[in-house]
Structure 1
Amino acid sequence: MKLFSAEEVHRLLDYPYLIEALRRAHLSEHPYGDHLLADDPAGSGNQFVSLLGWKAESAIAAKLVGVFPGNRDLDPPQASVQGIVAGFDPDTGAPRFVADGEAMTFRKTAAVSGLGAALLARRDSEVLLVVGAGGLAPHVLAAHCAARPSIRRVLVWNRTAERARRLAGGTELENVTVTATEDLDAATSEADVISCVTMSTTPLVRGDLLKPGCHLDLVGAYRPDMREADDRAMSRGTLFVDTRNGMEGAGDLAQPVGNGLLDWSDIRADFYELVQGGHPGRSDQDEVTVCKNVGGGHLDLFTAEALMARCDG
């Protein structure tokens, strides 16, 4: 059985490689997946998540992670997502590897958003806005730049401005300028691609300000009470998801559907339909596209397969 540290996961799963691996994985049928989400019995708001993906001819992957948002406020701070991803032989059930769960989650989640940009964002996109400056933020920043090499400027906004400045100051990408901004509305109107990675329960991105042709990537709002974009953004944009499985729990979709603004049939396509050609994706240069990154055990399975393939190669 192999053990992969966080450093090894980040080294082996570079974003150009992982985004392409996820694209190829969506050419096949959806594998079996299931999940269990447990809330802290003490009512702290902490959660523990178990995700399972099973592809009979390839692998079984199980992710066990805790989601403890308050960890970032500890002294010293700890990651809010911690755990493991384990891979098993589909024929014998024998364990094949264990990998750092935070690193695998960061890589998978960011690469899914990167694939969404590769499928939906304009090819001439030059300005990326990252909303949020937590642990996932540098990864979605890197993944979007890998998916759209035309990006030349990155703006970072965070409620705590110092965190945005730290992220911007600590990011070095060839031919890309990264700066922090305290004016979210101005940055929204300038961005060609916007990626939201927050724990917000109130909308941050205003749809009226979205630039024609903008691609909006919504990664947070994984609970029904969370929200990153307002109703105008959701009604103005053409809606896509990485997967329809579990999308009912995402606040940016569930709330507009609940108040009658949208219907679930307004989701135009998922990644399987986009990758396999069942939907053309962007229809014109001025269309606003909105993609909700829902996640799921099948994506952890695809990422586990990619890790093993890179290692075996």
Structure 2
Amino acid sequence: MRFIDTEQTRDALSFDAVIPALRDAFRDGATVPGRHVHAIQSGTAHGTSLIMPAWSDRGYFGVKIINIFPENTHQGLPGLHATYNLYSARTGVPIAQVDGDVVTVYRTAGAAALGADYLAREDASTLLIVGSGRIAGLVAQAMRTVRPIQRVLVWNVRAAGAESLAEGLRAQGFDAHATTDLEAAARQADIISCATLSTVPLIQGAWLRPGTHLDLIGSFKPDMIETDTACFDGATVYVDTD
């Protein structure tokens, strides 16, 4: 069995390749059982573990395990950690263990960009990123693959996180700025991408202009919410997986 570490996984991936591969995967389909969700508690620490299997007729069977501990930010740690194990779907023989953190952020940001490629205006050039974690850090690159993104605004509940992400994006050539005024930023944006673990509404429907593309990445439990319900008034909802 091969062990593919963080650097090797990152070097093997680019959004120019990931987004078309995701387009093909959603079109061709696979067997994707419902994920297992487990609440983890150890002392005062608590988190969620997601176990996500999938397989296809191409002969591969993969299992991704994601551990999400929102309070990690208080320790200076990422809130998400993952591993990905790949097996033969015909024999069960292990093939590889891959850095699941890198796979997760590329898949998630890539799927967000794929959705924008179908749904966002062709001339969308201003992107608002809500959040500053690892997935948020790749959203601008992913969106620039499918739309002419020129300006990036970053808001985060911790202003220092927004400043850090904006600085990193400027180093990549983006006209990026941190903001503390979420409403003003949302009213300017052509694409709003939320990648948070928020349990309170952040984006308000009253702030959205006609034609704004709203991309919600972070919520994965019923108590998580990134927008108010007004964002969905009169909206068309697209679901990428049953």
Query: Do Structure 1 and Structure 2 share a fold, with TM-score over 0.5?
Result: yes
Alignment of 1:1-313 (within 5 A): 1-42=1-42, 44-74=45-75, 77-148=76-147, 150-171=148-169, 172-174=171-173, 176-244=174-242
Does the 8 A contact of 2:30 with 2:54 survive in 1? no
Q: What do residues 134-186 of structure 1 show as CA deviations (whole Å, max 9, x unaligned)?
A: 222111222112221x1110000011111101110112334x31111111101
Residue 47 of structure 1 and its aligned partner are, at CA, apart by 1.3
Q: Distance in 2 between matches of 1:147 and 1:8?
A: 25
TM-score, length basis structure 1 = 0.73
List gaps (5 residues or longer) in structure 2.
Answer: none
Q: Which blocks of at least 5 consecutive residues in structure 1 are unaligned?
A: 245-313
Tell me by how many angstroms 1:41 deviates: 4.2
Between 1 and 2, higher relative CO (CA 8 Å, sep ≥ 6) is seen in 1
- 1:87 is matched by which residue type in structure 2? L
Distance apart, 1:26 and its partner CA: 1.9
Alpha-carbon spacing, 1:137–1:32, altered in 2? closer, same or farther (3 Å): closer
- Distance in 1 of aligned mates of 2:227 and 2:111: 19
Query: Percent of aligned positions with the same letter in both sequences?
Result: 35
Query: Structure 1: how far apart are the matches of 2:69 and 2:5?
Result: 21
1:30 & 1:100 partners in 2: Cα distance?
A: 22
CA contact (8 A) 1:127 1:192 kept: yes
How far the C-alpha of 1:93 sits from its partner, in A, is 1.1
TM-score, structure 2 as length reference: 0.93
Distance 2:234 2:207 in 1: 11
CA distance in 2, matches of 1:30, 1:3: 24
Contact 1:33–1:54 (CA under 8 A) maintained in structure 2: no
Contact 1:70-1:80 within 8 A present in 2 as well: yes
Check conservation: 1:83, 1:100, Cα contact below 8 A. Answer: yes
C-alpha separation between the residues in 2 aligned to 1:177 and 1:229? 26
